[in-house]
Amino acid sequence: MAISFANNIFTLQAKNSTYQMKISEHGHLLHLYYGSKIADKDVSYLIPRVIRSHESNPDEAGEDRVYSLCAYPQEFSSNDAGDYRIPSIELVNTDGSYSFVGKYKSHKIYSGKYSLSTLPTLYANEGEDVETLEIILEDAVTHVSVKLLYAVFAEKDIITRAAVLLNGSDGEIRLQRFMSASLDFMTSDFDMIEFFGHHYYERQTDRHPLTHGINEIGSFRGSSGHFHNPFAIICDKKTDEDIGNAYGFCLMYSGNFVFDAEMDGYSQTRVAMGIHPKQFEFHIAKGDCFEAPEVVMCHSAKGLSKLSHSFHDIFRENACKSRFVHSKRPVLINSWEPFRFTFDSEKLIKTAEISKKLGADMFVLDDGWFGERNDEKAGLGDWVANEEKLPGGIPALAERIHAMGMSFGLWFEPEMVNENSDLYRAHPDWCLRVPNRAPSRSRHQLCLDLSRPDVCDYLINAVNSVLEAGSVDYVKWDYNRYVCDVYSAYYPHDRQGEIYHRYMLGLYRILDGIIKTHPDILFEGCSGGGGRYDGAMLTYFPQIWCSDNTDAPSRLVIQYGTSFAYPICTMGAHVSACPNKKTKRNVPFKTRAVTAMHGTFGYELDPAKMTEKEMADCAEYTEFYRKHQELIFGGDYYRLSSPYDESIFTAWEFVSKDKTEALVCAVTQDISILDKNCYVHVRGLEPDALYKIEQTGQTLSGAALQNIGILLPHTQPQYTAFVFELKRLNT
């Protein structure tokens, strides 16, 4: 069994890791251990039995001054009860007090994976060995209780956590902070790895030592956002790709979030993750409940690569139920670069015909096809085709594209509205907007109030009407501004602290009503590029546009950071024209193609402006990508070097699960030292097996490829790309 309970000890056993808790003599649930797999039945000796001077002691401890909640490691910390570290919960009780002291009441263990009724979670596949633990902690005075949920995906070394608050009091309570997961480490000699950025530079990697006090990342933009990703790692200071302990935490939520790692005065570490408490206050009536999002946790004792492999496997196999997750994806080309808003059906058809010669499978019509949408100032919200541009609407255009043997895709941005639109003129109260204040605009857009059921109903019906009439094969779902002016005309003034979260509940309801009712459409998420790239979105979208920055050297950095948590098969990556519009950088076509093969592969360019040589290159690399797509999407991914290092090259690798083949890619960076011998050290192969390198004809053992490596040719220009195909020989 993955989960056991004996002598007041809960033990969760994954393939290579153990998680242990204990009910203390006074009923508090203590966190004992999370790390490499152990057989010990009780490791509570880890808790120091020392008096912490001037700390509080609960009344039930009597004369025992050792027992202090401010020093003991807790699984879900109390509030206003002598623990001064970051709390798991803050609430206002019916009597106006802020106290919550949750003590063990009951538990149950069962086969299968828990689910949440309002929020997306991972799921267990049929026949997969997954177990769930539910623990109820109750405050004996208020009768408010918290249900802690744990699921163990034993073979994948993944443990998930969530929490549900149950209001058993005699009236309404106001919840102001509620963490999905919290756990305490008795040590603090950790580094923290976070993934920060902004539009065009998402998921940059920052590693730094934990310091005393609260080390915090988060988003307060209404979405998980470009600036911080809801994924973080704490690890030993010497941990690298192959050795050392690492702990990953990924929140399955697409809105405001917080991740705290607090090092206290005793050099202990508390980690907490959940919905950001700023401007959050949820009213919970007597008998009602509130669900906190799921956190996906993983421990690796074999460095960061093993941690990434576990996250990749769980998101690839247990997040999205779309049939496209495990099927080959189309190579697409998008209309935005050639036309922006100015096009008609004939221009689109001509471009699609040229695109097919590049090897593209799908033509995607981007912005500008609906309403009075001739620029970004009008039309958003009016999801009816502009038949002056598109005679016969979307069905007629889709039919012509299909007749060419290509699939057809369409762009939407359902969550936004222009004030110059029929929708806004009919329903100005459907926007988030503070009374008596002028709104803050971004890209001439306002945010629709997705906390309103009538807005959700409208969007579900409007988008579904287009999809069901138009033979659409693919949807790019965009979201191009952050939320602010957060006030809903639908709710009373004292419930405005609920709107950020209710917006997300409305969004998930809309995605359920559109995506899950169209299983034959491939949906791709987008948010000004990669601004909403999180685990919850991956339950709906098998792929997410990684960044609006398609400059290959920039993408090497963005895709490097993204790879720590998210599988390669989820990264939208395309070849674009040069010089790049953002960076003005010129990069060889092969390098752009090899970088785009670090994801779903496609094109963001005007094919009519391409030379015959460039078109031939497109066709060549498209076929090369198709040849290796199964390996790229389903294999184990290795970061062979970091784009942040002062290195001559950035390199990465895909290795099949059975280790019979590998694809090694490298791009040169620093040409000032290219006379130096450069070797790419391959990883993940069988040491004693022989592998043939297709590009060089060499046959080398897995051990030689790892310890000696592949020699890169000397004196190559900056941003030269190399690709090596490795095949294991039958011996």
Supply the DSSP string of 599-654, one letter for each residue: TT-EEES-GGG--HHHHHHHHHHHHHHHHHHHHHHHSEEEE-S-TTSS-SEEEEEE
User: Are 422 and 276 in the same domain?
Assistant: no
Residue finishing a domain among 592, 613, 635: 635
- Tens digit of pLDDT for each residue in 649-669? 899 999 999 999 999 999 998
Q: What is the chain's mean pLDDT, rounded? A: 95
Number of domains in the chain: 3
pTM (predicted TM-score): 0.96
User: Are 217 and 275 in the same domain?
Assistant: yes
Tokens found for residue 583: 């960076």
User: Are 436 and 471 in the same domain?
Assistant: yes
What span, in angstroms and rounded, lies between the C-alpha atoms of 195 and 217?
A: 9
Q: Prior bond to 579 cis, omega within 30?
A: yes
Query: Is 614 an active-site residue?
Result: yes
Residue type at position 669:
Q
User: Are 282 and 385 in the same domain?
Assistant: no
Query: Is 454 an active-site residue?
Result: no
User: Are 101 and 150 in the same domain?
Assistant: yes
Q: List the catalytic residue out of 614, 620, 686, 725.
A: 614
Instruction: Report whether pLDDT(535) > 80.
Output: yes
- Tens digit of pLDDT for each residue in 209-222? 999 999 999 999 99
Could you tell me if residue 327 is inside a domain?
A: no
Contact 502, 448 (CB under 8 A): no
Tokens found for residue 154: 């034993």
Contact 34, 18 (CB under 8 A): yes
Tokens found for residue 57: 């002691």
Residue type at position 406:
M
User: Are 528 and 629 in the same domain?
Assistant: yes
Could you tell me if residue 641 is inside a domain?
A: no
User: Are 306 and 345 in the same domain?
Assistant: no
Name the strand (E) or helix (H) holding 560.
helix 552-562
More confident residue, 362 or 611: 362
User: Are 348 and 290 in the same domain?
Assistant: no
User: Are 625 and 653 in the same domain?
Assistant: no
Instruction: Report whether pLDDT(674) > 60.
Output: no
User: Are 378 and 515 in the same domain?
Assistant: yes
Q: How confident is the model at residue 58 (pLDDT cuts 50, 70, 90)?
A: confident
Could you tell me if residue 326 is inside a domain?
A: no
What span, in angstroms and rounded, lies between the C-alpha atoms of 298 and 276?
A: 22
- Tens digit of pLDDT for each residue in 319-367? 999 999 999 999 999 998 889 999 999 999 999 999 998 889 999 999 9
Question: C-alpha distances in angstroms, 385 versus 350, 352, 422, 541?
Answer: 20, 19, 13, 24
- DSSP 3-state helix, strand, coil percentages of the chain (rounded to 5)? 20, 30, 45
Instruction: Report whether pLDDT(673) > 70.
Output: no
What span, in angstroms and rounded, lies between the C-alpha atoms of 530 and 541?
A: 13
Q: Residue 700: which CATH number?
A: 2.60.40.1180
Boundaries of domain holding 611: 332-635
Residue finishing a domain among 635, 660, 685: 635
DSSP assignment string, 164-226: EEEE-SSS-EEEEEEEEEEEEES---EEEEEEEEETTEEEEEEEEE--BEEEEEEE-SSSS-S
Q: What is the rounded end-to-end Cα distance, in angstroms, of the chain?
A: 39
- Give the pLDDT confidence score for residue 715 in this predicted structure: 67
Spatial CA neighbour of 248 closest among 177, 200, 306, 162? 306
User: Are 550 and 657 in the same domain?
Assistant: no
User: Are 269 and 410 in the same domain?
Assistant: no
Could you tell me if residue 82 is inside a domain?
A: yes
What span, in angstroms and rounded, lies between the C-alpha atoms of 112 and 131?
A: 5
Q: List the catalytic residue out of 294, 478, 524, 534.
A: 534
